[in-house]
Amino acid sequence: MTQNDATRRGIGIILSSPSGAGKSTMAKRLMAWDPSLSFSVSATTRAPRPGEVEGLDYFFTDRETFGQWVLDGEMLEHAEVFGHHYGSPRAPVESALGAGQDVIFDIDWQGGQQIRNSALGGDIVSIFILPPSIAELERRLRSRGHDSDEVIGKRMAKSESEISHWAEYDYVLVNADPDTCEAELRTILTAERLRRERQPRLSDFVRGLNEEFRRRQP
């Protein structure tokens, strides 16, 4: 019944939201809450932003290498956004899931669709995070301070298209308050782990109960 059961394959947890609705903050908070979680670090051809760390925020690479990884089937999903390529390297995800670790994907709807259709094994939980309002979404984007008006305009246009895919997800949250949103994410993850098919040790446990029944019979 423990989370790190060697005979249990991990769950793939897809977190999507428009830029500024909080999915990256929420992913970081979940990682801090449960250190047994694994985070799928994306590869990208865009340049690092100030403070971003190689291998932690992204694997930064060039177009040629990225293209080769795609051709070699090393990417679970990949997409081009604003002229840069992004993708989820397959090997670390397969390794974590195989070790029974649940893996968080901080990806957009295109990535979510590709992961759901990939050979990951099908044990996927998908969560879409909506902003409380578009005004608040824009305010959060501007408060980051690293985008020009033009880029913010583009991000808002992309947000509209991102939001149009909300109905493809298992769960939908409205992030009006980060603490509430985090609590809801914890709740979803804790409940999903209590599903029967995610507790492979239950069979042994019930076998033990049945043996106890047999021993007490005269």
Q: Does residue 102 contact residue 37 with C-beta atoms inside 8 Å?
A: yes
Residue 21, annotated ligand binder? yes
Note whether 196 binds a copy of itself by CB under 8 A: yes
Note whether 104 binds a copy of itself by CB under 8 A: no
Note whether 22 binds a copy of itself by CB under 8 A: no
For residues 185 and 16, what is the distance between their CA atoms, to the nearest angstrom? Answer: 12
Note whether 13 binds a copy of itself by CB under 8 A: no
Note whether 63 binds a copy of itself by CB under 8 A: no
The one among 39, 90, 173, 175 contacting a copy of itself by CB under 8 A: 173
Between the alpha carbon of residue 18 and those of residues 110, 135, 215, the distances in Å are 12, 13, 58
The answer for 83, left when phi > 0, alpha when psi is -120 to 50, beta otherwise, is left
Residue 22, annotated ligand binder? yes
Q: Which of 94, 91, 79 is nearest to 44 (CA)?
A: 79
For residues 202 and 8, what is the distance between their CA atoms, to the nearest angstrom? Answer: 11
Note whether 124 binds a copy of itself by CB under 8 A: no
The one among 45, 130, 155, 182 contacting a copy of itself by CB under 8 A: 130
Residues at the interface with a copy of itself (CB under 8 A): 1, 128, 130-131, 133-135, 138, 156, 159-160, 163, 166-167, 169-174, 184, 187-188, 190-192, 194-196, 199, 202, 205-206, 209-210, 212-213, 216
